[in-house]
């Protein structure tokens, strides 16, 4: 299917090369692919981060991500969409999230990727707990993530 939505919530890491190939396989009509990968960073909200644990709400998570992908499809002419989000324990620089979008032209693919990440940050039930040099802490919601929705 050239317009399919693929949503995965998993403990395992994912391979950028194979996800890229899946987005493009057997598709000659879409000439733009945009991918975004989010990684575990070593510094956040004033704390030195050693790693993190991601909790989620099984069932709702997948549903929320599918809803966001469907909304993106209504706003832009898109081909395939892949959203992968990991859960469980992750070390520094490990991949957390992947968003890949294909479209005929780059504008739609760039915008849809941003839209998906902005809504994922507000609506998908994931929570990060960081291990820091001062102990464990739950990451606080960043108001700029809410503000980002106003552009859509």
Partner 1 sequence: MTDILFFAQLREQLGCEQVQVELKEATAVADLIGILVTQYPQWQRYLTNNKLLVAVNQTMVDKNHTIHPNDEVALFPPVTGG
Find the DSSP H helices in the chain: 16-24, 60-75, 106-123, 143-147
In the complex, the residues that contact partner 1 under the rule CB under 8 A are 38, 54-57, 59-60, 63-64, 85, 96-97, 117, 120-129, 138-142
Burial class (CB in 10 A: 0-12, 13-18, 19+), 125: middle
Q: How far is the CB of 25 from partner 1 (least distance, A)?
A: 26
* Token pair recorded at residue 7: 């949503």
Q: How far is the CB of 91 from partner 1 (least distance, A)?
A: 17
Q: How far is the CB of 102 from partner 1 (least distance, A)?
A: 21
Q: Kindly tell me which of 33 and 96 has the beta carbon lying closer to partner 1.
A: 96
Cα angle: 26, vertex 114, 151; to 5 degrees: 140
Cα angle: 46, vertex 90, 56; to 5 degrees: 90
Q: How far is the CB of 24 from partner 1 (least distance, A)?
A: 24
Q: Kindly tell me which of 65 and 78 has the beta carbon lying closer to partner 1.
A: 65
Q: Kindly tell me which of 63 and 105 has the beta carbon lying closer to partner 1.
A: 63
* Token pair recorded at residue 69: 């992908």
Q: Kindly tell me which of 30 and 56 has the beta carbon lying closer to partner 1.
A: 56
């Amino acid at each position: 299917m050239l317009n399919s939505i693929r949503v995965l919530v998993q403990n395992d890491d994912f391979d950028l090369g194979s996800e890229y190939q899946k987005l493009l396989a057997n598709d000659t009509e879409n000439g733009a692919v945009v991918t975004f990968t989010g990684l575990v960073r070593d510094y956040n909200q004033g704390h030195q981060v050693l790693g993190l644990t991601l909790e989620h709400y099984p069932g709702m998570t997948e549903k929320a991500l599918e809803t966001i992908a469907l909304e993106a499809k209504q706003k832009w002419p898109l081909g395939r969409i892949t959203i992968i989000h990991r859960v469980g324990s992750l070390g520094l620089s490990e991949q957390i999230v992947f968003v890949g979008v294909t479209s005929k032209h780059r504008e739609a693919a760039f915008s849809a990727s941003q839209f998906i990440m902005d809504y994922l940050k507000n609506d998908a039930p994931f929570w990060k707990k960081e291990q820091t040099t001062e102990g464990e802490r739950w990451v606080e919601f960043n108001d700029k993530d809410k503000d980002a929705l106003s552009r859509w």
